[in-house]
Amino acid sequence: MRGCTILPMQVFDVEAILRVIVSESVSVLPGPLTLYQSILATPELDNYDLSSLRVAVTGAAAIPVILE
């Protein structure tokens, strides 16, 4: 009843991920904790409109309280 598009990234590149989130209006971002830590640590983060993101999903690792 519902569909989705999956946009796999061959290489971990924070800037490329941010560009895809913006250009494709990504709404769900699954990934390991290091992905989110890298995104939050990006100095240019404020230059990207990430308002399309609704959900960020991670697993297999404890999430530090500071990131919750």
Range of the domain at 53: 14-60
Q: Is residue 22 part of a domain?
A: yes
Q: What count of other Cβ atoms lies within 10 Å of the Cβ of residue 52? A: 13
To the question of pTM greater than 0.85 for the whole model, the response is no
Residue 3 falls within a domain, yes or no?
no
- Do the domain assignments include residue 43? yes
pLDDT at 62 (0 to 100): 72
Task: Flag whether 51 is in a domain.
Answer: yes
Tally of domains in the chain: 1
Dist CA 18 CA 22 (whole Å): 6
Nearest alpha carbon to residue 15 among 53, 51, 42: 42
Query: Does the residue 25 lie in any domain?
Result: yes
| pLDDT mean by block of 10 residues, the chain; 68 residues | 84 94 94 88 96 87 68
Using an 8 Å Cβ cutoff, are 39 and 47 in contact? Answer: no
CB 37 within 8 A of CB 62: no
User: What pLDDT does 45 receive?
Assistant: 96
What per-residue confidence (pLDDT) applies to 47?
A: 96
